[in-house]
Structures are given as structure tokens and as C-alpha cells.
Structure 1
């Protein structure tokens, strides 16, 4: 359960510590049978190649969700390939505004240690680049909140899907781009994950601009939650309220 304070509309970045540190997302170990149950017949776990895990399974194949046209351009999620993307993501993580929340500044080895457990895991968390009009400009983690340590801290439901976001470019911050993309990506989740009734986020409660961006993107504030490394605002976008907020 990484962070969720992405640099939405400010210089603050959101995902490094949604509640437990950079390597917390995958520390909740579940039996293969339970993972298969949550995946409703699509078991992916130990021994499954990372590309197969990210191609489907527990998160219904974000790689195949395709582009979405937004008011700021054509956007799509592209699953991370460490040999192609490591240097770029490391550079983003070393932006002081990002590092303040993600706490992943340092050499490439630090970023790689954050990415590899996701890429080599059972598919419950998929790191992606956000590509806007052909240009990589943000980092996302799409994850199963109900299978994440976050589920210990709120009343989770099967197939709850979480998002973490980092907007990399300073030029893309503070002008509504983060809000637009949060709405677009949460919409992609709801469009392509029919069993998911809610999209979850947990920005740091102190990050008022980030919380505001989620609210503007159709999320509602549900509760304050004490996570291992921060007090978070639990934000929820409900399928049932999608067209109303």
C-alpha cells in the first residue's frame, strides 16, 4: 500500500506511502486459493511471469484498457517495463516535491526495489506510466485495495481498486491536469473492472491540494484513517455515484 498523494494539482506527489512505506503494498501474503477466489477464477501467483500477471488476472488487464480522450489530450496507461522506464521514474522520484510524499529519492536501485515486487508479484499491483498525447508524464499504481494492507484500515469490499498517482512535470501541476486524469483513470477502472464497485485513494490528509483534486475528480471523502506512516484521507469514487459527482 504505497502512497496516494500524487502530484495531482500541486507539486506534491501522491503515492509513496499510502499507509506503510514504499514496500508495503505487497507485504500482505495470501494463500493462492484465496487469491484465486478474489480473482473469481483467474488465479495468478507465485511462478507466473510478471508480464502474464500484468496482462490480466487480479486487475483485468490494464495493459489492454486502451486510450481515453480527455480535455487535456489523449491519455493511456502503459505498464512499466523496468529496462525501459527505470531511469525516467527514478528521475521523477528525485523531484523534491515528489520525494516529500513518496520517499523514494535516491539512485535507480531505490526505485527498482519499489517496482520489482510489483512486476514480479502476483498481479495485485501494476505500476504504469501515464502517457498523454504520446508523452510519458505521470506514474500510476493500479492495485487491489481489498488485497492490500490498506484493507486492514477500512471496511473493504471485494474488488475495491486503489490508485496512486505522481504527476511528473511541473508544467502539468496546478492547472487541473491531475484532476482530469484522476477522473479518467478511475473511469477506466470502472469501465474495465465490472466487479469493482469503488475506486479507493488515500492521500496524506495534510496534502490539501491533492485531497481537493480527488474531490474535483468525483471522489468523496469517507473518513480519516491512521496508516502506519501517515494520517490519510480515505477517498472513494462509487460506481453508483459516478454520473452524479
Structure 2
């Protein structure tokens, strides 16, 4: 079970999935594959594409087909991870000390690959995605079925509860509210595209104060403290019924 972070740009990660930090060590350099996917030149651009048709039995209603959403930070969309294309970038982010402090996935690319492959080869209960802002990949997300996750043993889960893990890869996006903006946008996407989901769940490390603050600012409420493998977490909940009030 991953973490859940935001405002400092580093993380909401695995069990523990991580969050914030202080070291400015990650520079965003696109691989040739990412440049080809998102566009040439100095600015990456996401090409328009038709939304994939939902698959029968899709546990998360196809996050890759949710499309772009406008935010105060720019146009944002979730792009499902392709390990051959994205491994180097995600691994670089995981090796930022600010991220590694919470996600605990620093090391060679094989460490990140071992984290991604079970999700990509699994039954679809967790979908790893790049967060692309104005055409530039700048964050890593995991959208997962909290009610089907080991997390459900630690709180009163409801059917179709959907969880979020997040890290911001670019140092420039940390500490200036981008995490809060994107957390609200992604939780809105979940509630808009998953009509059976009544709540969006997150479990940032209690030590990650900037992450907890970002969730609160994004319309989540503190539910309880929970002891998870490797961390004591703040269980955060964004309720469909309260989405327009918080």
C-alpha cells in the first residue's frame, strides 16, 4: 500500500508510500521515448487521442481515459505508466532524498520496476500513472481500490473506496500549492468518472506535515490515525457528499 503526499512535491507513496522533503536534487529530463510521446522541442505536448473504451470488469473505470482537466496550475491529465518508456524517469524521482524518505524505493531502476510491475501485471486494482501538466510529465500517481487493498483491514472500508498515492517529481512544483491543486483535481476526476465511489481515501505519513496539510487544503478531512506496515498514517477522506463544501 503506497503513500500519499503533495505539497512539497515528494510523495504519497507505498506502504509507506512517501511524501515531502527538503532536498532540491531532481531535474526533469525527458527520455527520448517521453519526448516522442509528449511532443518534440523544448516543451512536451500531449497529443490528443480518443479515450479507451472501458474494459469489462475494469476495477477503476479506466483512469487513462478520463482526459485532461483544467486547473489553476494548467491543463492536467493522468497517463498510465508504460514501464519501457517511463521507468528511468520514475526511478530518478524515487531516488530524490525527499521522495525516498517516504516511498523507500531508492536504488537502481530494478527497484522501481519491481514496484511497478505487480501493478501493471495485476488485476487492475492499482493503476500507476504519470501526472502531465501542460504537456510536461511532473508527478507520479497511483490510483487504487482502497476497499480491495490491505489498507481496508485498518479502517471501516466501503465498496468502491478509491485511494490516491502521489509524489511531485519536480522541485519547482514543491512548496507552492501545486500538490493541493492537483489533489483536488484528481479526486474530482475520480468522483466524476467513478459514480460508484462515494469516498476518495489517502494515508500520508503523519510525519509528513506538508502532505497532510495539502490534503486538508484539497477538501479532504482527517478521519483517524492508523498503524500501517512501516508507518503511522493520517487517514484522509474526501466525501462525495461534501465535495462542494470543503
* TM superposition score normalised by structure 2: 0.83
Paired residue secondary structure (2:3)? coil
Query: Which position in structure 2 is the counterpart of 1:213?
Result: 214
What do you get for the CA RMSD once the two structures are aligned?
1.9
Task: Give me the whole-angstrom Cα distance separating, in 2, the residues matched to 1:123 and 1:61.
Answer: 9
Q: Where does structure 1 differ by over 2 angstroms across 4 or more consecutive aligned residues? A: 16-19, 51-56
Farther off after superposition, 55-64 or 112-121: 55-64
Contact 1:167–1:173, Cα closer than 8 Å, also in 2:
yes
Residue 109 of structure 1 corresponds to 110
- Measure how far apart 1:225 and its partner are: 0.5
Kept in 2: contact 1:78–1:130 (CA 8 A) = yes
Q: Summarize the Cα distance change of 1:14–1:55 in structure 2 as closer, same or farther, 3 Å threshold.
A: farther
Aligned residue number for residue 67 of structure 1: 68
CA distance in 1, matches of 2:216, 2:168: 17
Q: Secondary structure at the match of 2:59?
A: helix
For the residues of structure 2 that align with 1:77 and 1:167, how far apart are their CA atoms?
Answer: 13
Gaps of 5+ in 1: 20-50
- Give the counterpart of 2:8 among 7, 10, 26: 10
Report SS of the residue matched to 1:90. Answer: helix
Deviation digits for residues 109-153 of structure 1 (CA, Å, limit 9, x no counterpart): 000000000000000000000000000000000000000000000
C-alpha contact (below 8 Å) 1:13/1:165 kept by paired residues: yes
Unaligned 5+ runs, structure 2:
18-51
Superimposed CA distance per residue, residues 56-82 of structure 1 (whole angstroms, 9 cap, x where no aligned partner): 700001010000000000000000000
CA contact (8 A) 1:65 1:188 kept: yes
Deviation (angstroms), 1:3: 1.8
Cα separation, 1, equivalents of 2:169 and 2:136? 11
Q: Distance in 2 between matches of 1:111 and 1:52?
A: 29
Report whether the alignment pairs 1:157 with 2:158: yes
The TM-score, its normalising length taken from structure 1, stands at: 0.83
Per-residue CA deviation, residues 36-74 of structure 1 (Å, 9 max, x unaligned), is xxxxxxxxxxxxxxx999897000010100000000000
Write the deviation string for residues 140-186 of structure 1: whole angstroms up to 9, x where unpaired.
00000000000000000000000000001110000000000000000
Native 8 Å contact 1:54 1:62 kept in 2: no
